[in-house]
Structure 1
């Protein structure tokens, strides 16, 4: 199966550098809505067999033009929402961001014991996100191409922990812009391989 992990389009929190995981979350900005339309255009020649989003509204607004263009419904999938901010929810600035990211880096390296202050540990995250991806795999065939519109933190941590050709050293130093796509192939039995990360093709 080919899995397209897509970061949602721009929100005000992205622009401000604010940690934002609350539900249902922010709407897209005007720029974000343009990005969502551009995403649909970029994928016009990539027929999809399913489009999934998290329960946060920014992912659904990002996916709406794509779903319309592909003639597919949007399926909201539990477990694919952003990594909860805990006590850091709504905070901004370098110190807050470092406190949020530090445990995520440990999770990607395989140490699930670290927790975000007032939040969850790595076991909680990987359990819910693995289950969500497993649901997608179960619903589709090996030849299907499926899009999941999710969140920067989720994508980078999950890829770091599950891909066989990319690790935390890569995911922590290669930013994903809004609507960037990480293309993966495989499954849990045979492993996940990153084919491309944003505009970069990987071996």
Structure 2
């Protein structure tokens, strides 16, 4: 299969204020977020991307644009509704410090598979739709560009954590063990035998080895020789 680079959007004004933005309109990258997204775009510039798919929310579209500006050709990001932020319902727009006093907060931390946000969506539904979208686009990019294709998906923290948990074979109740920082890069290759998680939550490092394509089969006993830069 192809290889997907999962990119979280850069820092936003809401992130900096400690606000749960959710799907609210008008939430944009702040200056730090723009710098983070530009840096990530620079990292990915050495990888010819078959395409960029993004949550339709502005902060992800902005981050995707920073990536595409550093790629060859004049392309736009494909908006994918199933990669949008979790619908936090009545939690949207509230301060995280206030939400931490809610009874539901403990379940979000320890048993997210059972969480349904009041007036919103369940975390299990969020994972199901986002994983299905990633696998669908991954298969499409492979069909069009071949098994060496590398593409990027720009989304949100909880969404990417849930995708990584699925690829790692982790129960959703364990996904809070995964960290996904602003503008971070995580990499998953959906091989014939199993998904291979090649990186999580990185914000630095050479990615030119991805331009050679990723080949996975049996896991190398002892860890193997690793990737070689271009």
Q: What is the TM-score of this pair, normalised by structure 2?
A: 0.74
Q: Match for 1:198 among 198, 201, 206?
A: 201
Q: Over alpha carbons, which structure has the higher Rg? A: 2
CA 1:134–1:174: 2 relative to 1, 3 Å = closer
Tell me if 1:153 matches 2:158: yes
CA deviation after TM superposition for structure 1 residue 22, in Å: 2.2
Question: SS at 1:172's partner residue?
Answer: helix
CA 1:125–1:94: 2 relative to 1, 3 Å = same
After TM superposition, the runs of 4+ consecutive aligned structure 1 residues lying more than 6 A away are none
Contact 1:8 1:62 in 2 (8 A): yes
Structure 1: gaps (5+ residues)? none
CA deviation after TM superposition for structure 1 residue 87, in Å: 1.1
Tell me if 1:96 matches 2:99: yes
Structure 2: gaps (5+ residues)? 206-222, 224-230
CA distance in 2, matches of 1:101, 1:143: 42
CA 1:40–1:181: 2 relative to 1, 3 Å = same
Question: SS at 2:177's partner residue?
Answer: coil
CA distance in 2, matches of 1:106, 1:158: 17
Q: What is the TM-score of this pair, normalised by structure 1?
A: 0.83
CA distance in 2, matches of 1:25, 1:153: 20
Give the corresponding residue for 1:179: 183
CA distance in 1, matches of 2:193, 2:13: 39
Contact 1:164 1:191 in 2 (8 A): no
Q: What are the equivalent positions in structure 2 for 1:57-136 lying under 5 Å apart?
A: 57-70=58-71, 71=73, 72-97=75-100, 99=104, 102-103=107-108, 106-107=111-112, 111=113, 113-136=114-137
CA distance in 2, matches of 1:101, 1:46: 41
CA distance in 1, matches of 2:38, 2:106: 30
Query: Aligned residues, how many?
Result: 196
CA deviation after TM superposition for structure 1 residue 176, in Å: 2.0
